[in-house]
Amino acid sequence: MERRARLVGLLCIAASAAGFGAMPILGKLAYAEGVDLPSLLFLRFAIAGAMMAALMLWRGLHWPRGVHLWLLVAMGALGYVGQAFCYFAALQYATAGLTALLLYLYPVIVTVLSAIRARQRLSPLRVVAVSAALLGTALAVGGSLSGSVLGIVLGVGAALIYSVYILVGERVTPAVGAIPSATVIMLAAAVVYGLVVAVRGPAFPVSAAGWAAVGGIALLSTVVGIICFLAGMARVGAADAATLSTLEPVVTVVLAAIFLDERVGVWQTIGGAIILAAVIVLARSAGRPRAASPAAAAESRATP
């Protein structure tokens, strides 16, 4: 059963990476149809949150309460909002390649913090897998790796915030369930971005194609992405979930080549291969799998 739970967790993380990896492609399509960033993020979380709330009502799931509720609200209103702000602000002071690479420091940060919290030594296998994933990400994102000190600080800040988000989620999700956790996170983020849009004024899509792109972001890159990540993390742990998420840039590069006709270079191909190798190593690792909690097991029936 433990091996089966780990396999389900790995598949959930892979599905999450596919959903998040598609977001840059859909985002470019949405921007081309007149959407600005605050409006896009508000629509993303508002639509996804409404879909998840409807699913909760249909299944008769209970809303989180007490400390768990406030932790989830903080994950959405502070974690997602703070990470997004640092990431997109970093793009103004550093190249896209450097910003992406700094963000993907989070698997290393999560792995180290998880080991410190559990007072366990990192196994050589995990150290090699995490290092290989970081190297593969550096090759996969490509581009010039240059930027100012402020850009580097903001990029590292995005990675740190996302790392804390993952570690908090590792504790809350098994107790509450993937679907209720994701619903509260989405709605909390929607409220924050809604206030931003109310102050700045909305810039919604001007065509059916734009709304389709926004809908894809809400469904694939939010509902599927967040639920599958939380469900997978409940089974494999925060450290392995973060490392497996380095599949995201591989998905982005492949989809950009297919739909945006962007060229895939030799180094990107090598980087993707290294990431896949690291993922396979973790998937086949003989370490004790993380057993799924009853709540997480019940929620997994509704995850893609």
pLDDT digits (tens, 9 = 90+) for 241-293: 877 887 877 787 777 777 767 676 777 777 777 777 776 666 665 444 443 33
- How far apart CA 296 and CA 38 sit, in angstroms, is 32
Range of the domain at 165: 2-302
Q: Whole-number mean pLDDT of the chain? A: 79
Percent of the chain having pLDDT more than 90? 19
* Count of structural domains, the chain: 1
- Contact between 235 and 292 (Cβ < 8 Å): yes
- Contact between 40 and 214 (Cβ < 8 Å): yes
- Whose tokens are 């709304």? That residue is 211
Of the listed ranges 20-34, 135-149, 164-178, 278-292, the one predicted with least confidence? 278-292
How confident is the model at residue 194, as a pLDDT?
Answer: 94
